[in-house]
């Protein structure tokens, strides 16, 4: 019983981590696109 709870506890965090990672990647890509637009606007 305790082993099952431990396994579930160990299996839970990666899902949360990947969700946070996906949000961070999306934010990073949006920020990158935003800065690229500003830089291209300044150059032109």
Q: 3-32, pLDDT tens digit by residue?
A: 665 566 666 556 666 788 889 899 999 999
Counted domains in the chain: 1
Average pLDDT over residues 28-37: 94
- HSE-up of 37 (CA within 13 Å, CB side)? 6
Length of the chain (residues): 44
Q: Does residue 1 surpass a pLDDT of 60?
A: no
pLDDT at 10: 62
Average pLDDT over residues 33-40: 94
Q: CA 31: distance to chain centroid?
A: 13
Residue-range definition of the domain harbouring residue 16: 5-43
Question: From CA 41, how far away is CA 3, in angstroms rounded?
Answer: 58
pLDDT at 44: 85
């Amino acid at each position: 019983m305790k082993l099952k709870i431990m396994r579930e506890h160990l299996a839970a965090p990666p899902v949360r981590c990947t969700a946070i990672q996906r949000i961070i990647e999306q934010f990073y890509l949006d920020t990158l696109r935003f800065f690229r637009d500003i830089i291209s606007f300044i150059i032109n």
